[in-house]
Amino acid sequence: MKLTKEAIDLIIEHEGLRLEAYQDPVGVWTIGYGTTTAAGIGVIVKPGMRISEPEARAMLHDALNKFADKITPHFTRKPTDNQYGAMLSLAYNIGPGAFINSTALKRFNSGEFEGAAEAMTWFNKAGGKVLRGLVRRREAEARLFLSDDTQAPLPRPDPVRESAAGSTTVLASAGQAAAGVSTAAGAVAMLDGTAQIVALCIAGAVIILALYIMRERLKKWGGGVR
């Protein structure tokens, strides 16, 4: 497992950067990219504290490693990198204890990936109130979590053709030639005069074009182009 750039970008975007200590919506003193004293990385966040952007990134790095060490022993199956990043983002935001006891983790461990992603979105409140910022973050985490399972299936390879008869181009050309013959026959039987001549000319052109295409495809087949 590794923390991908997509997961780090998600965390940075939704945590935001504050170089001076502030109180979050529930009154916890926070600094940098969401670092609090409770992160346990040896930083005591207090009023008036100021840091630089490199210090904020270093704190985030240390905190994510700390949180990863706490939650990964509770995985009973190996997550993909995107699942891991999404769950670590959630744990970093709600705390490792809440994550370890969450329905999201239980469902992940039982293989209910869609159910796990849904359960992640439940953590959208702070101080008992739904916050739009948390709603957006949970939606982003759920999308990241499921991203490995929503890829389109790989196209099936074309079957190997053993002869020119299996070529779709040859078959289509033969069909066009047959249609031209049919048109010519119909013109002779049903039309007369100028209309008959026009229909015969069109049918003849279709037959000639179809035979030319078929000949070129057979030449390529003979040269080894399948």
Check whether residue 75 and residue 114 sit in a common domain. yes
The whole-model pTM stands at 0.65
- pLDDT the model gives residue 181: 46
- pLDDT the model gives residue 40: 93
Check whether residue 121 and residue 176 sit in a common domain. no
- pLDDT the model gives residue 31: 97
Check whether residue 99 and residue 139 sit in a common domain. yes
Check whether residue 111 and residue 177 sit in a common domain. no
Is the confidence at residue 104, as pLDDT, over 80?
yes
Is the confidence at residue 161, as pLDDT, over 50?
no
Q: What is the pLDDT of residues 60-99, one digit of tens each?
A: 999 999 999 999 999 999 999 999 999 999 999 999 999 9
Check whether residue 171 and residue 216 sit in a common domain. yes
Q: What is the pLDDT of residues 166-223, one digit of tens each?
A: 555 444 555 555 555 455 445 445 556 665 565 556 656 656 765 666 566 555 445 4
Specify if 41 maps to a domain: no
Specify if 35 maps to a domain: no
Determine the structural domain holding residue 210 and report its residue range: 164-222
Residues with a known catalytic role: 15
CA-based angle 130:86:151, to the nearest 5? Answer: 115
- Specify the DSSP class assigned to residue 73: G
Is the confidence at residue 108, as pLDDT, over 50?
yes
Check whether residue 9 and residue 98 sit in a common domain. yes
Rounded Cα distance, 40 and 63, in Å? 7
Mean pLDDT, the chain, whole residue set: 81
Specify if 29 maps to a domain: no
The average pLDDT across 105-116 equals 97
- How many domains does the chain divide into? 2
Rounded Cα distance, 181 and 185, in Å? 6
Check whether residue 135 and residue 168 sit in a common domain. no
Using the structure block, give the residue that is written with the tokens 């390529």: 220
- pLDDT the model gives residue 214: 59
